[in-house]
């Protein structure tokens, strides 16, 4: 049982509770319609996400992972192709590449933002480069203007992995509207989180949107005539109905996350943990509007795992995104990268600690998180002095 002072990393129920009646009536509407696939809520959600992301077209699919896979399938990525992608990301940003027989080329990250280090991009582009996948990590856009510029110079498509960053923007232009295609996830922990799996693709190219739909529907057109070998990847109507309710409240949820991020900044500073202290706060690029899917601090003194254990012992939830970079995963050993190849990626994996930042987190809970981190260091100092 959680104690009175415990703080969860995430409380989906608390976030959803105010909208219970809206969810119930949306679900009842789908039940009564009997249209469980391709229902009107799916069409509406597609146009709502397209509008929100300032993209012309949106195509629903079964998950963020499928969105990435479909994007690469529709781009004809296959054996012999190279795709540039960060190693400091979730597995799905990379498995979509290897699943199609193509080869990931891992790029290191900027230590401030944890996003692709754009200064290394040019040197990694070669004759086999068939796509670039910038990941907008933790709710903050990568330097997508520069990435798209470099990609355009080489005529290479850009697949934005915006799974964590719906509503994020760079130079006021939203994630998912910059590249050839944008990929979103509705996994419950994402900013637009459903009650199960779901995903969406955005694009400004009508023919490409049509191709994405073709691949998401078994490559079948017309019925029982298959043009290409696609997959079955659909966003079901129940999920779309739930997501439309959440979509209505997404701006408030983003505001909640932004408020919480600002408060952590002040609290950690006031606690004396930042200046000459053990905590490095997250850095937001001056051109970026972050939607704060995660709040990630760095503990650079080598005690990150002890801090995490101390938080857990005191009922405070935290997580490490990501403890093992993709180039060091067992299943990607054959790609040929090894420990030491991506120094900032590997350092981030050792130092990062993700703290609770969900929209309905309370001021008291945030105080408690910072207090427990402070207590760890006070008790640590006390131990050293003894
Ligand atoms: C969550 C996530 C995905 C995959 O989305 P699913 O809907 O869980 O399949 C892909 N990339 C990143 C960066 C993610 O965080």
Check residue 294 and report its DSSP letter. -
Q: How many Å apart are CA 131 and CA 126, to the nearest integer?
A: 11
Nearest of 99, 106, 105 to residue 72 by alpha carbon? 99
Whole-number Å distance between alpha carbons of 163 and 293: 10
Cβ atoms within 10 A of the Cβ of 320, count? Answer: 16
Give 244's contacts (C-beta < 8 A, 6+ positions apart): 26, 41, 44, 45, 48
Give the residue whose CA is nearest to atom 1 of ligand 1: 163
Distance 194 CA to ligand 1 centre (A): 13
- Under a CB-based contact definition with an 8 Å cutoff, are residues 181 and 159 in contact? yes
CA of 166 from ligand 1 middle (Å) equals 12
Q: Is 165 in the pocket of ligand 1 (CB under 6 A)?
A: no
CATH T-level fold of 250-385: 3.90.1150
Q: Candidates 97, 137, 185: which one to mutate for ligand 1, based on the most atoms within 8 Å of Cβ?
A: 185
Q: Which atom of ligand 1 is nearest to the CA of 92?
A: 10
Q: What is the DSSP string of 324-363?
A: S-GGG-GGGGGG---TTSSHHHHHHHHHEEEE---TT--H
DSSP helix/strand/coil, 51: helix
Q: Where are the domains of the chain?
A: 12-107+115-244, 250-385
> 12-107+115-244, what's its fold?
3.40.640
Bridge partners of 203, per DSSP, are 57
DSSP state of 102: -
The tens place of each residue's pLDDT in the chain, 386 residues long, gives: 567 789 999 999 999 999 999 999 999 999 999 999 999 999 999 999 999 999 999 999 999 999 999 999 999 999 999 999 999 999 999 999 999 999 999 999 999 999 999 999 999 999 999 999 999 999 999 999 999 999 999 999 999 999 999 999 999 999 999 999 999 999 999 999 999 999 999 999 999 999 999 999 999 999 999 999 999 999 999 999 999 999 999 999 999 999 999 999 999 999 999 999 999 999 999 999 999 999 999 999 999 999 999 999 999 999 999 999 999 999 999 999 999 999 999 999 999 999 999 999 999 999 999 999 999 999 865 455 44
Alpha carbon of 270 to ligand 1 centroid (Å): 35
């Amino acid at each position: 049982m959680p104690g009175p002072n415990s703080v969860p990393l995430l409380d989906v129920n608390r976030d959803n509770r105010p909208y219970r009646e809206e969810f119930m009536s949306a679900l009842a509407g789908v039940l009564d319609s009997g249209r469980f696939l391709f229902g009107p809520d799916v069409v509406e959600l597609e146009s709502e996400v397209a509008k929100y992301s300032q993209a012309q077209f949106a195509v629903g699919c079964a998950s963020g992972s499928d969105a990435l896979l479909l994007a690469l399938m529709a781009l004809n990525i296959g054996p012999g192709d190279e795709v540039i992608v960060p190693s400091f990301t979730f597995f799905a940003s990379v498995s979509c590449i290897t699943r199609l027989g193509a080869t990931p080329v891992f790029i290191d990250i900027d230590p401030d933002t944890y996003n692709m280090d754009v200064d290394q991009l040019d040197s990694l582009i070669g004759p086999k480069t068939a796509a670039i996948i910038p990941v907008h990590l933790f709710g903050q856009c990568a330097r997508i203007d520069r990435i798209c510029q470099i990609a355009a110079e080489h005529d290479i498509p850009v697949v934005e992995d915006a799974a964590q960053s719906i509503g994020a923007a760079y130079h006021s232009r939203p994630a998912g509207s910059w590249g050839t295609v944008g990929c979103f996830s509705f996994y419950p922990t994402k900013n637009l989180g459903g009650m199960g799996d779901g995903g969406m693709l955005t694009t400004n190219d009508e023919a490409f949107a049509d191709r994405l739909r073709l691949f998401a529907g078994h490559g079948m057109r017309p019925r029982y005539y298959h043009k290409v070998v696609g997959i079955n990847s659909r966003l079901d109507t129940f999920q779309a109905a739930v997501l439309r309710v959440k979509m209505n409240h997404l701006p408030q949820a983003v505001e909640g996350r932004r408020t919480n991020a600002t408060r952590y900044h002040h609290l950690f500073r006031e606690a004396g943990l930042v200046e000459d202290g053990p905590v490095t706060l997250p850095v937001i690029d001056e051109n970026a509007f972050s939607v704060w899917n995660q709040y990630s601090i760095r503990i650079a003194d080598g005690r990150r795992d002890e801090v995490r254990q101390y938080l857990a012992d005191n009922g405070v939830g935290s997580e490490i995104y990501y403890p093992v970079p993709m180039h060091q995963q067992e299943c990607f050993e054959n790609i040929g990268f090894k420990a030491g190849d991506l120094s900032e990626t590997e350092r981030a994996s050792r130092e990062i600690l993700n703290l609770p930042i969900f929209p309905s987190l309370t001021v008291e809970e945030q105080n408690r998180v910072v207090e427990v981190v402070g207590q760890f260091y006070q008790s640590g100092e006390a131990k050293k002095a003894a």
